[in-house]
């Protein structure tokens, strides 16, 4: 691992440990994010999430919202898989500025998913999110907002760090929404998501009831 990449991960860990908003960090990181994460650390979270979405939402005409889309790694993978109707939302304008010229997304919406967004209810036929659930990022409190954005019957695919999944007891939040018949759990699976490091992750796939 290069020193630069480890410095960024150390900085990220500091934000997460203090649970403060990572938005300034992503603004600062935007220009080298892909090189550090994919190039130096072998990040694959975007591939895991996009491939799962393709399994559970096989219709290539489906309208998809990419939550915490960042520089567009998930959208780029979905585009390569044949999807053509992808919008993205992210609270870092500078990450969005890197995604914009790639012409992957229809709309790129600046917004914080921990609050109610400007997006209409039931607007999408699938939601995907990779690497954006963690302290200082998104938390399970925003599940209802993500669920609001997709139509009944739509898959919601989330890939996140496995340590946060366990420490913050995401399973109980997921179960509560299933017991209330808000969504149905389709799959929860463990994956390592950085080839240069041991980084356990969790893939969570649900369907809005
Ligand atoms: C680790 S990056 C993942 C980006 C992209 N999904 C990927 O796989 O490369 C996390 C992204 O989530 C965004 N993010 C974190 N918290 C957010 C929030 N509360 N609302 C909107 N975006 C958020 C960050 O700005 C950042 O772009």
Q: Percent of the chain, pLDDT > 70? A: 97
Residue 10 CA to ligand 1 centre (angstroms): 17
Domain with 113, as residue range(s), is 3-208
Looking at the structure of the chain, the number of domains it has is 1
Residue nearest to atom 10 of ligand 1 (CA): 132
Residue 173 CA to ligand 1 centre (angstroms): 20
Count the neighbouring beta carbons within 10 Å of the beta carbon of residue 59: 9
| Span 180-197, average pLDDT | 96
Task: Show the tokens assigned to 53.
Answer: 């979405």
Q: Is the pLDDT of residue 4 over 70?
A: no
Q: Is the pLDDT of residue 2 over 90?
A: no
90 lines ligand 1 (CB under 6 A): yes
Closest CA to 154 of 48, 91, 67, 46: 67
131 lines ligand 1 (CB under 6 A): yes
Residue 62 CA to ligand 1 centre (angstroms): 22
Residue nearest to atom 27 of ligand 1 (CA): 70
Cα dihedral 59, 61, 62, 64 sign? positive
Cα dihedral 161, 175, 62, 51 sign? positive
CA dist list (Å): 116 to 19, 56, 108, 119, 201: 20, 26, 16, 8, 27
> 3-state DSSP helix/strand/coil percent for the chain, to nearest 5?
40, 25, 35
| Span 144-167, average pLDDT | 98
The enclosing domain of 70 has a CATH number of 3.40.50.150
| Span 56-64, average pLDDT | 98
82 Cβ contact partners less than 8 Å away, ≥ 6 residues apart = 60
Closest CA to 191 of 1, 42, 70, 27: 42
pTM (whole model) above 0.95:
yes
- Under DSSP, is residue 115 helix (H, G, I), strand (E, B) or coil? coil
Closest ligand 1 atom to residue 23 Cα is 25
Closest ligand 1 atom to residue 34 Cα is 9
């Amino acid at each position: 691992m290069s020193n630069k990449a480890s410095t960024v991960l150390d900085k990220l860990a500091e934000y997460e440990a203090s649970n403060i908003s990572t938005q300034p960090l992503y603004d600062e990181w935007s220009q080298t994010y892909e090189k550090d994460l994919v190039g130096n650390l072998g990040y694959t979270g975007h591939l895991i999430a996009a491939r799962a979405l393709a399994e559970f939402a096989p219709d290539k005409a489906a309208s998809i919202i990419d939550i915490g889309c960042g520089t567009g790694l998930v959208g780029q993978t979905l585009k390569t898989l044949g999807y053509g109707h992808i919008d993205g939302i992210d609270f870092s304008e500078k990450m969005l500025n890197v995604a914009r010229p790639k012409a992957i997304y229809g709309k790129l919406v600046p917004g914080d998913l921990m609050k109610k967004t400007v997006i209409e209810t039931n607007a999408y036929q699938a939601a995907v999110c990779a690497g954006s659930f963690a302290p200082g990022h998104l938390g399970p409190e925003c599940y209802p907002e993500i669920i609001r954005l997709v139509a009944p019957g739509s898959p919601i695919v989330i890939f996140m760090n496995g340590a946060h999944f366990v420490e913050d007891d995401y399973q109980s939040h997921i179960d509560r929404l299933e017991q209330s018949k808000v969504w149905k759990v389709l799959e929860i699976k463990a994956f390592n998501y950085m080839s240069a490091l041991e980084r356990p992750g969790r893939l969570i796939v649900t369907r809005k009831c």
